[in-house]
Amino acid sequence: MLQRDWELVGAPNARDLGGLPAAEGRRVRAGRLIRTAALGRLTDEDLPVLGKLGPACVVDLRGAAEQQVAPPDRLVGEPRVVHLPVYDPAHPVFTYVSAVLLGHDLTAYDELAREGMPAAMAQIYRWFVTGAAAREGFGAAVRLAAEERNLPLLFHCSAGKDRTGWLAVVLLTALGVDEVTIRADYLRHNELTESLREVLLAAMTRRQPHLDPATARPLLEVRAEYLDAAYDEVRRVHGSFGAYLRDGLGVTDGVVAALRDNLLD
């Protein structure tokens, strides 16, 4: 039986995209595309598991400021490490989310707070489609995945749910995986991180006694409405996902063909 979930204590949502049904009756090849959270909290016991995965390339979607405040990735061997920051420090929603996470004063974000965290997360997902840094980062990541020398490719952001989740959507769509299957994989984050999410929520409310858990919880989850916001933005701006790949991300038909050659059985 194909092992899709990799038991990494320090990255509980780690999983292989292999085995998913794709174009022309084919399947995503096992051990080629791995999505995780950041690897800085891996335990000593996790390292042999990562060694078994043996990534040739690790794509880090975090911004430089995020990297600086987090423990460095724990890696095995000498994989190629590529930093593709999908982040905009000037975007008001990014700064609002950071303020919530860090317990900063939120009075400057009254309007965003009134709209609520789910609406803020939906804005971020729309930005994934149109933001310059997002288009550059996601497009470059897809092109890396199309090169045999970068496989197995492991990709992550901080929590491994939003930027990592959208990159998984992009890659799987390019491979011809249907939207229902993609959505189910995206939503599995919640199941895989349920206990950790409650621990994080409790820690946040201890640090910030005035923080309403109802405000923070949508930030720690993935939700169908977030994914819908990105899909809607793709349709609004480009008309189709194929046009988004081509015109938004610079992913040519040749890159898609290479992806399928290298990543499908």
Residues identified as active-site = 157
| Alpha-carbon gap, residue 193 to 12, rounded angstroms | 6
Please check whether residue 113 is in contact with residue 97, taking contact to mean a CB–CB distance below 8 angstroms. Answer: no
- Where do we find the tokens 């593709």? 84
